[in-house]
Amino acid sequence: MDITFILNDLNDAQREAVTLEERHALILAGAGSGKTRVLVHRIAWLTEVMKLSPFNILAVTFTNKAAREMRGRMEQLIGHQAQGVTMGTFHGIAYRLLRQHFEAAGLPQSFQILDSDDQKRLIKRLLKAMELDETQWPVKQVQAYINGEKEEGRRPHHIDPGHNPFVKKMLQIYQAYEQQCQKAGLVDFAELLLRAHELWLKRPEVLSFYQARYKHILVDEFQDTNSLQYAWLRVLAGGTGKLFVVGDDDQSIYGWRGAKIENIRLFEQEFADVKTVRLEQNYRSSGRILKAANHIIAFNTERMGKELWSAGEDGDPIRIYEAFNEYDEANYVISQAKAWVEQGGERSDVAILYRSNAQSRVFEQALIQAEMPYRIYGGLRFYDRAEVKDVLAYLRLLVNRDDDASFERVYNQPTRGLGEKTMQTVRDLARDLGLSLWDAAKVQLESGLTARAKGALSGFLDLIEQLQIDTQGKNLQDQVMMVISRSGLQTHFEKDRSEQGQARVENLDELINAASGFDKAPPAEENPNPDDLDAAISDNPLLNFLAQATLEAGDNQAEAWESAIQLMTLHSAKGLEFPLVFMVGLEEGLFPSKPSFDDPFRLEEERRLAYVGITRAEQKLVMTYALRRRLHGTEIYSGPSRFLKELPEDCLDWVRMTGQVQSAREWASPTSQKSQHNEAGFAMGQRVFHQKFGEGTVLATEGSGDHARIQVNFKHAGSKWLVKAYANLEAV
């Protein structure tokens, strides 16, 4: 049998991983080492060489985008065989499991997924019903507590509050939240996995079926799993399933949202007969960039060990730019990006990475002044946009009247005269009688409402009832079109003639397109296996469309952009790569952040974040820091980040704000830098006045005497280079 198509183009380590015998495997895949290729070719090896049925393979990813990419590559490699593999995110697969076994899981057949925003609204309403002050019990804090407990597998009855009044009150809220979700048939993201995990523990016959089915379980980004995801995998694998997990402990950067780095570190101890393979050959970055990455991550003491290398060239040195302040930093970065484009590079090849979202403002301002198109990666995704969520809420009410979150969102959207006073009476009645808002509204119609309020409330309820009747038997596209039109949303947004209003109308059109594409998906096989998860979601297109919309909105990854400079946080950059990367704001207290100074665990995660940032760069890497920066309304003088000091000397090119090369480890003093005048007669940071441009701050100078050029950042005019003899600058 010819298997060269599976093994061709694999290096020795990749080939070892792909061809492993049936056993548990831990693939430590360094940045840019081809982990997706290994996963895809491993599946091909299982089906083509080991003759395993695709029906017996489960592949788990963290994003829908990653799942689609893997599916596409598999289809190219093994054709129709790829269709039999169950593939998806943790949440997506758990949803399909619960949809298939809703009764055993204790859920109504029409249960709906509660996204993060709707979860906040539900909590907000509960806090109000419990007469709790949101200033003392912030919605986000309550939400984080509930989700955190679920991700640890804990229901309210598992938690002992002891004598802690805070925990006691949180437990009361958690209990009320669970009761409301159960009554309304709502399942949040954390609940998907917890409910699926509990289903297996409570119904061993269901678990046995899936353990027998999924003989090989492949997991991507294993270092990002939380406690519940790890437990879910362990139960499913049982004593017979073989886990093939791929991850990198050096890229574990999501501890703040529940990821447990110990999952990958303890894998070899907790599973018998584990084979560990290290993928260390990098196909992305130049030699100097990889040397810097290896050097900095070596300062972390708790590592499994791995050394990236490349068969390519060493490439350019890493440039370190010392800026006077954040404006000088931004101007330098944009000037270098502009030079890249002028030399034939694409704008989309350039990424500016920062530790905090707040840092983007100055770069945006500089890009606007330079007239360079830019996009902020991770902005509002399609299914997160308000007008799209409005339509989805109407659609959810068509299939589940007890969905209080959707009721709250659209009862007065667009405005139909339903005031807050009327709705509060409905909420109070719902709370007192234990009803959904829908049922409480029907009861309220029979009691003391004004004629106007009664007409508005009755009109809304009648609208939903009539929409359900009129959409019966329609295809999904027609259902969505009818809801958009009959709800009044189309007319409402068309009244807004601004660009934003037009963009909202275009988003409604795109939602119809999405429904049309969903309608045209290949039909499920006739008489499917009743326990087949892929068949479990084939019977109701509208339910499936709503679930898919929520799951897509839960993704952290965005789609590709048109050519533009890309701005993003370091966390958002994980998994991406760019020919030219700027890592900015490398100062003590900013990156690493102050809270990590006294916490070794957090400091190591910050260093892993720096490692992730460095390994995003393919050809060129520029790292910057500012001697002074305005944070929280105050001028801060911070030293360069310790991460800069941890880089290897022979890979670096230090540049000061005057454009001169700085010797390695020549750390300038902010106070002396501020006070020293240069040959042009002005000090860096000096406040000056210009007759035309007004007040500004000196950023840099070139030359001496009357022909010297001075760079000034003006408050209203932006950055300008001026000749001293003609500028007539006055010191302020």
Same-domain pairing of 49 and 62: yes
Distance CA 12, CA 513 (A): 45
Identify the domain containing residue 483 by its residue range: 382-498+508-520
Which 3-state string (H, E, C) describes 296-311? HHCCCCCCCCCCCECC
pLDDT band with cut points at 50, 70 and 90 for residue 518:
confident
pLDDT band with cut points at 50, 70 and 90 for residue 648:
very high
Q: Is the pLDDT of residue 485 over 90?
A: yes
Same-domain pairing of 197 and 89: yes
Query: Of 648, 673, 698, which residue sits at a domain end?
Result: 673
Same-domain pairing of 160 and 250: no
Same-domain pairing of 448 and 483: yes
Same-domain pairing of 197 and 179: no
Active-site positions? 35-36, 220-221, 251, 616
CATH of the domain at 421: 1.10.486.10
Same-domain pairing of 135 and 250: no
First to last CA, the chain: 82
- What pLDDT was estimated at residue 282? 94
- What pLDDT was estimated at residue 507? 79
Do the domain assignments include residue 553? no
Query: Of 623, 638, 673, which residue sits at a domain end?
Result: 673
What SS3 state is found at 314?
coil
683-721 residues labelled b (16+ CB within 10 A) or e (exposed): bbbbebebeebeebbbbbbeeeeeebebbbbbeeebbbe
Give the pLDDT mean for 175-199. 95
Same-domain pairing of 421 and 514: yes
Same-domain pairing of 9 and 83: yes
- What pLDDT was estimated at residue 680? 63
Same-domain pairing of 11 and 47: yes
Question: pLDDT digit string (tens) for 383-420?
Answer: 777 898 999 999 999 999 999 999 999 999 998 888 88
Number of domains, the chain = 5
431: left (phi over 0), alpha (psi -120 to 50) or beta: alpha
Q: Is the pLDDT of residue 454 over 50?
A: yes
Residue for token digits 């106007």?
Answer: 452
Do the domain assignments include residue 129? yes
Do the domain assignments include residue 681? no
Q: What is the DSSP string of 69-136?
A: HHHHHHHHHHGGGGGGSEEEEHHHHHHHHHHHTTTTTT--TT-EEE-HHHHHHHHHHHHHHTT--TTT
CA distances from 272 to 42, 248, 267, 421, 512 (A): 20, 20, 9, 63, 51
Do the domain assignments include residue 529? no
Same-domain pairing of 202 and 242: yes
Same-domain pairing of 612 and 706: no
Same-domain pairing of 595 and 702: no
Do the domain assignments include residue 554? no
Question: pLDDT digit string (tens) for 36-75?
Answer: 999 999 999 999 999 999 999 999 998 888 999 999 999 9
Query: Of 136, 167, 184, which residue sits at a domain end?
Result: 184
Q: Is the dihedral of CA 661, 663, 667, 668 positive or negative?
A: negative
